[in-house]
Amino acid sequence: MPDDAPALLAEDLRKSYTLHGNRLDILRGAALRAAPGETLAIVGRSGAGKSTLLHVLGGLDKPQGGRVLIAGQDLYGISARRRTRLRAAKIGFVFQAYHLLPEMDLVENVMLPAMALGSLSRRRMRARAEALLECVGLADRRRHTPLELSGGEQQRAAIARALMNEPPLLLADEPTGNLDAKTGDAVLDLLFRLARERQTLLVMVTHAPATAARCDRTLTLEEGLLR
């Protein structure tokens, strides 16, 4: 892939939900193109469809129209089984609510995406998970389960998990939405630093103008379109 090929290309995305006979057109032709290593903020009012957009970009929710290419590969033009694999290999997700598994310790949580791919030995997975936990400052918490951690620590663990398979694309949906301002800033510093070090495309939904200002570009989702 040449360096200037988009890491992410989305064309004419269309997504509606029908609820109680009422059709809501959430995405109405949204499009975007982003290069490897870019940082992109997605803003828009509550209910505009930002989370829906991120799910569509991440292969979690099939749109009714349009397409998504991840490093040139058509995310919805392949079987659900291959999509699951492509997602595990190419896309890291960071959600507002962390979504760590409570019954597993941090090392096991961070290992999960690698287990989904199955391309590393268990021993190498563990070593990599421990190295990532060290990168996010949680080496001394690696045996803790998520509920034994603060919100900021849980989100740092979720970031480590998202990076486990070295994905070229990191999607983050209001990653500091549940954190106080100071903890949120520390989590953002970490996210930006890791994305930059790894040349990862970071697409982040945020409400905060100051956070958007730290990104290379800001796109607003409005009336189902990105502009």
| Binding residues vs ligand ADP (CB under 6 A) | 17, 19, 24, 26, 44, 46-52
Alpha helices in the chain (DSSP H): 50-57, 80-90, 106-117, 122-135, 151-162, 181-197, 209-213
Partner interacting with residue 163 (select from Mg ion, ligand ADP, none; CB below 5-8 Å by kind): none
Q: Are strands 201-205 and 39-43 parallel, antiparallel or unpaired?
A: parallel
Q: Kindly state the smallest distance separating residue 138's Cβ from ligand ADP, in Å.
A: 28
**Nearer of residues 46 and 79 to ligand ADP, judged by Cβ:** 46
> How near is the Cβ of 45 to Mg ion at its closest, in Å?
10
Q: Which does 151 bind (CB under 5 to 8 A by kind): ligand ADP, Mg ion, none?
A: none
Q: Three-class SS of residue 26?
A: strand
Helix and strand numbers (H, E) in the chain are 7, 10
Residue 206 partner contact from ligand ADP, Mg ion, none using kind-dependent CB cut-offs of 5 to 8 Å: none
**First-to-last CA distance in the chain?**
27
Whose Cβ is closer to ligand ADP: residue 52's or residue 200's?
A: 52
CA angle 61, 98, 212 (to 5 degrees): 80
| 34 vs 53 by CB, closer to ligand ADP | 53
Measured from the CB atom, the residue of 130 and 174 that comes closer to ligand ADP is: 174
Nearest CB to Mg ion, comparing residues 54 and 187: 54
| Residue from 10, 40, 51, 69 in contact with Mg ion (CB under 5 A) | 51
Specify the stretch interacting with Mg ion by CB under 5 A; choose among 44-52, 74-82, 149-157, 195-203.
44-52
Least distance in angstroms from the C-beta of 173 to ligand ADP: 7
Q: Is 176 in the site for Mg ion (CB under 5 A)?
A: no
Binding to Mg ion by residue 52, rule CB under 5 A? no
Starting at the edge strand found earlier in the chain, the sheet holding 39-43 runs: 91-94, 169-173, 201-205, 39-43, 217-222, 225-226
**47 interface partner picked from Mg ion, ligand ADP, none, CB below 5 to 8 A per type:** ligand ADP
Residue 19 class from Cβ within 10 Å (0-12 exposed, 13-18 middle, 19+ buried)?
exposed
User: Strands 39-43 and 65-70, how do they pair?
Assistant: unpaired
Is the CB of 10 or the CB of 133 nearer to ligand ADP?
Answer: 10
Pairing mode, strands 169-173 and 91-94: parallel
Could you tell me which residues are beta bridge partners of residue 218? 41
| Interacting residues with Mg ion (CB under 5 A) | 50-51
